[in-house]
Amino acid sequence: MRAPRLLAVASFVVAFTMLAGLVSAHHSVVGYDRKQTVTLKGVVSEWRWRNPHAFLLFDVKDASGKVVTWSGELQSPLSMVALGLNRNTFKPGDEVTVVAFPAVKGTPDSIVQKIMGPDGKVIIDRGSRALEP
């Protein structure tokens, strides 16, 4: 009688440990510089409205005039709906200003903190939640 119970408890502990590792790894922001932000003006090339996270891809001209496509990671679509956004919030060609935490490795990847339209109107401001992609 004791062996089946011990096996059940051991199975639960192993399963919980594996899931905790996956959740922790999924929400890691270690690859982003959370001590500084970049402000980028660009044009939306794609709005990826999908789980587990929405992504805004936008084209930015660098100092030499070369166009660089940046990727901005946001929350899940369900969380974004609660903030008033939807799959039609951004369209290719929309002008945006994005404030984000840049990737540590220097690639054009980021975690979005704030997005403003061409008129300066704030579309989304994640504030302290910006560290939770």
For the segment 43-68, what is each residue's pLDDT rounded down to a tens digit? Answer: 999 999 999 999 999 999 988 999 99
For the four alpha carbons of 90, 94, 99 and 104, in that order, the dihedral sign comes to: positive
Segment 88-128, tens digit of pLDDT: 999 999 999 999 999 999 999 999 999 999 999 999 998 75
Q: Which of 36, 55, 52 is nearest to 44 (CA)?
A: 55
Comparison of pLDDT for 131 and 77, the residue scoring more: 77
The four Cα atoms 106, 35, 52, 120 give a dihedral, to 10 degrees, of -90
| Region 31-43 average pLDDT | 93
